[in-house]
Amino acid sequence: MAERYTPAKRKPPLKGALLYLMPIPLLFAALGALGKGNWLQLAGTGGGFALALLGARLARKGIVIEATASEKKFRRRISTVPYKLLGGLAVTAAVVLISLLVTGKGLVGSVLYGAVTLLGFYLYYGFDPARKDPQISAVGITSEEVIELLEEAEGRIDAIEAARKKISNPELNDRLRSIVAGVRKILDIIEDDPRDARRARKFIRVYLDGAQQVTEGYARTHALGETGLLEENFRRVLTTIETVIAEQQQKLLENNLSELDVNIEVLQMQLEKEGVR
């Protein structure tokens, strides 16, 4: 019953947590200012708390994205949103605001405090790394397409897993878990040699899409207690998908392209015949 470990589920344990703790005194200071009716101090401490908390959230997200990307054999897309940089700027803005409205350091002094804060943030956490896509020889698919294909596959796997957890039938649950494990092996093959992505593109977009659709559809029906014939249809489609996953793994390892398009057409027809698509 153990589930396969995936780096995407792992988060750096503590890095960035300190940013969530540092603003806490500002919350108490804001409550105190509210009680005293000191609106200027309330704006400084309350605004500083909100900005610092926003900065912590953004920085943590950037840290997680970077850590997840770095653990992949095939370098995934670094987010186009510079979360760590935005987090650092939000924390810097919090310091400037507090310095101006609470401690009364003046504009120049506040900006200097902010500059030191941003420098410290950069030295400790760094900013978002530049995006570097892998270089792939001319094989009919670009590195950008490979990355998008892998990310699409990860999303479909997540959807299948979410639907699987709603299905109480142990047999079907185990078979879906096996299908997910098989797809992950195919993604591992692609990560080892991204050029395989061109040959696996139709498989991922047809078979994985079909697996997602039938799993989500069966999970909805299963929850209502209306199974019967649909359960048998679901079993037959799962059998087809299991067989094709094993065949596709072997074809990728052997660089065998034969009959792939034919098999895809067979699945499409079966999905329509069984009434599960």
Q: Which residues of the chain have pLDDT under 70?
A: 1-13, 69-80, 130-141, 223-228, 255-277
Token duo for residue 264: 């895809």
**Locate tokens 């047809």: which residue?**
206
Q: What integer pLDDT is reported at residue 36 of this predicted model? A: 83
Does the global pTM surpass 0.85?
no
Domain ranges across the chain = 7-125, 143-274
Within the chain, where are the H helices? 18-21, 24-36, 39-70, 83-101, 106-125, 143-164, 170-192, 196-202, 209-223, 229-254, 260-274
